[in-house]
Amino acid sequence: DLGPRAAAAWALAAQHFWEAPSEGYLKSDAGRQDAAAGCGPDAGETSLWLLDLCPAGPVSGHLPSANSSRCQLLLFLFLWNRPATRLNYRKRFGKDNVILSDIRKPPDHIFHGGPFIYSDILDYKNLREIVVNNRITWLFHYSALLSAIGEANVSLARAVNITGLHNVLDVAAEHNLRLFVPSTIGAFGPTSPRNPTPDICIQRPRTIYGVSKVHAELMGEYYHYRYGLDFRCLRYPGIISADSQPGGGTTDYAVQIFHDAVKNGKFECNLKSSTRLPMMYIDDCLRATLEVMEAPAESLSMRTYNVNAMSFTPEDLAQELLKHIPEFQITYNVDSVRQAIADSWPMNFDDSNARKDWGWKHDFDLPELVTTMLNFHGSDTRVAQAN
């Protein structure tokens, strides 16, 4: 006897099946090649799943440890351009409990570093098979084309960011998963309050990336209230990681600047020196994500939260870099498209609800961020050359 939520989800899944083309849910060769060309690590696409081999059913309380006798945890992620993320989760859950995935053949270090499986966010049948075969209970969905890349390929961004989301929502509702979908500062627009930007206000973004993220926030909340889906979402600021390459986002200057500062001692910025945006180091980002997922449902007053750590301009960042690399030089060659995007985004996030409801507190401010990034990239080499 299916309950109303399960019955509705099953009907939705059945509709997907009967409306599918005769070859099933697999894309045409041309479509799959397009997806492969635009959805890989160079395009900034990521997707993250948490798999749990416990009996199916709702998850409550805290995440069990990797050594728990109750169940084995698996992590499925498509994060090739975020090595720190893979390392972080593999340390926490154990190497054999982290499963990486892509639609391309993995390089040796990925294949031999732990389990690897194939998955395509646009292949609904494949997603259902993964959930059923691995008895997934938690799912982290990171698949998206970022702001600048999305504007260059709107049709692909619409497919990955929106159709992919629909596939994940349907699978999560059908199988009673706890679902995390990240949102972004890009979910706001030029008519939003910018300093600070609260959790609930007018949004109206003007990029396909931002529009798709507002869509994700609202669809997730709808599925929560309509089907009881345990949907959780954080609006990330610009995320800075030491061991990743820029992925086509407007805030990526704050990653590229460290690569160029250490390698060349200079950097050409594509935003104005006074462009203030909220930022966060990757370790804080990962911890915030796990903390909101582990938070008791009754502690959450909303389903989508702002999270923040620091807010700075390119000039602020350059001045902090000069303390470590005295010969560093920054010049400006403003990209009108990226500047227009940045000018429509928040200058500072109000994340007081996250701090009040589930105790969010960041660890990295600008000085700690710069020191950590330069330690990773080896600024001692530049200082020695200068001396």
Q: Residue 109 and residue 101: Cα distance in Å, rounded?
A: 13
124, 142, 209, 236: the active-site residue: 209
Is 305 a catalytic site residue?
no
Triad 301, 305, 308: Cα angle to 5°: 135
Phi, psi of 125, deg, nearest 5? -60, -45
Give a three-class secondary structure readout of the chain.
Answer: CCCHHHHHHHHHHHHHHHHCCCCCCCCCHHHHHHHHHHHCHHHCCCEEEEEECCCCCCCCCCCCCCCCCCCCEEEEEECCCCHHHHHHHHHHHCHHHEEEEECCCCCHHHHCCCCEEECCCCCHHHHHHHHHHHCCCEEECCCCCCHHHHHHCHHHHHHHHHHHHHHHHHHHHHCCCEEECCEEHHHCCCCCCCCCECCCCCCCCCCHHHHHHHHHHHHHHHHHHHHCCEEEEEEECEEECCCCCCCCCHHHHHHHHHHHHHHHCEEEECCCCCCCEEEEEHHHHHHHHHHHHHCCHHHCCCCEEECCCEEECHHHHHHHHHCCCCCCEEEECCCHHHHHHHHCCCCCECCHHHHHHHCCCCCCCHHHHHHHHHHHHCHHHHHHHHC
Residue 337 CB partners (closer than 8 Å, separation 6+): 148, 151
CB 37 within 8 A of CB 68: no
CB 75 within 8 A of CB 99: yes
Measuring CA to CA, which residue among 319, 315, 312, 255 is closest to residue 282? 255
* CB neighbour class for 230 (10 Å; exposed up to 12, middle 13-18, buried from 19): buried
Write out the catalytic residue numbers: 209
